[in-house]
Amino acid sequence: MPAPFKKGDTIIAIFFLLPIIIFLSALFFYPLFQVLWLSFTSFSSFKGPQRFVGLENYLKAIGSPILGIVLRNTIILTFFVVFVDFLVGLGIALLLNEKFKGRDIIRALIVLPWAMPGVVAAYLWKFMFNPELGLLNAFLLSIGAIKGCVAWLDNPTTAMIALITSYVWKGSPFMIIMYLAALQTVPEEMLDAAVIDGAGFWQKLRYIILPHISPIINITILLATFWTFNYFELVWVMTGGGPYESTQIFPTYIYQSAFLWRDFSLASVFAVFDSLLLIIFGITFILVRKVRF
């Protein structure tokens, strides 16, 4: 609950926030508007004059099958990644909050996947999934779970699962750290009181812990969704959008249209679709979860 409203508060707030606003506007909104503008033109160059074509680019994109494919893939990927991220993040945070030997070292190690450059993590995981030389197949073969070498990345379904795994490995430390920090704010006396009243672990979780860290949960899920949706390194290196575009997602398609095909109008159109989707998701989420500012 915010403290009682005082008259000077608005002024103070503006004073604090003004630098950020100016900074962001200058640095961020100019490119944003330029990209928006580009999506309505037929691209020739960034500095020269461009030919305005109205909605033509958008209609073309809507008409082409790739938009639907990219949409479907990105949504599926993001949904599962964030979902598993959340469960894994919360679970591990709860675990790491307990006392046990070696806890400190494990806590420090847990950040490493997140800190690794995306390209490197992608090569690492691509190698883990390598049919002939990778660890996964070697392990499965040794326990007899599979007979021959399975090419995980060659089949759309297993490729998606493989990608989800690597995304979660790379991204869950963010949730873990945030939830670990948030768990610190849960008042101990409430938990003790609950124990006295006979509450078990799940009740404590549901009625005390989760409500208390709810703001952080909201933030992390929103952020994780935005970042996962736009993260391109893992898919780019591991599958390149294949096989046959079954793992092509928004960020990789945008990168491809921009830097391989030099079609910045197309890239801008897809970027706008990308952002619109995220805005819709964000607003829906904020309303449903009643996120307060």
**3 near another protein, rule: CB under 8 A:** yes
Distance between CA atoms of residues 161 and 140, nearest Å: 16
**84 near another protein, rule: CB under 8 A:** no
Minimum CB distance to another protein, residue 43 (Å): 10
The single residue among 120, 145, 161, 210 that binds another protein, judged by CB under 8 A, is: 120
For another protein, which stretch binds (CB under 8 A), given 49-57, 78-86, 182-190? 182-190
The alpha carbon of residue 200 and the mean position of all alpha carbons in its chain are separated, in whole angstroms, by 33
**118 near another protein, rule: CB under 8 A:** yes
SS (H, E, C) the chain: CCCCCCCCHHHHHHHHHHHHHHHHHHHHHHHHHHHHHHHCEECCCCCCCCEECCCHHHHHHHHCHHHHHHHHHHHHHHHHHHHHHHHHHHHHHHHHCCCCCCHHHHHHHCCHHHHCCHHHHHHHHHHHCCCCCCHHHHHHHHCCCCCCCCCHHHCHHHHHHHHHHHHHHHHHHHHHHHHHHHHCCCCHHHHHHHHHCCCCHHHHHHHHHHHHCHHHHHHHHHHHHHHHHCCCHHHHHHCCCCCCCCCCCHHHHHHHHHHHCCCHHHHHHHHHHHHHHHHHHHHHHHHHCCCCC
The single residue among 117, 157, 287, 290 that binds another protein, judged by CB under 8 A, is: 117
Q: Which residue number, 31 or 54, has a Cβ lying nearer to another protein? A: 31
The single residue among 55, 62, 106, 145 that binds another protein, judged by CB under 8 A, is: 106
Write out the binding residues for another protein, residues 230-249 only, by CB under 8 A.
230, 232-233, 238-240, 242-245
**111 near another protein, rule: CB under 8 A:** yes
Write out the binding residues for another protein, residues 11-70 only, by CB under 8 A.
12-14, 16-17, 19-21, 23-24, 27-28, 30-32, 34-35, 44-47
CA atoms within 13 A on the CB side of 243: 9
Residue 125 is encoded by which pair of tokens? Answer: 């995981």
**Single-letter residue type at 29:** F
Minimum CB distance to another protein, residue 80 (Å): 16
Q: Which residue number, 83 or 255, has a Cβ lying nearer to another protein? A: 255
Contact flags string 183-202 toward another protein, x per CB under 8 A: xxxxxxx-x---x-----x-
Minimum CB distance to another protein, residue 54 (Å): 18
**80 near another protein, rule: CB under 8 A:** no
The single residue among 70, 113, 167, 234 that binds another protein, judged by CB under 8 A, is: 113
**182 near another protein, rule: CB under 8 A:** yes
**Single-letter residue type at 77:** L
**203 near another protein, rule: CB under 8 A:** no
Residue 33 is encoded by which pair of tokens? Answer: 């508007």
**164 near another protein, rule: CB under 8 A:** no
Q: Tell me the site size for another protein, rule CB under 8 A.
A: 135
CA atoms within 13 A on the CB side of 242: 10
**221 near another protein, rule: CB under 8 A:** no
The single residue among 75, 79, 215, 289 that binds another protein, judged by CB under 8 A, is: 215
Q: Which residue number, 80 or 264, has a Cβ lying nearer to another protein? A: 264
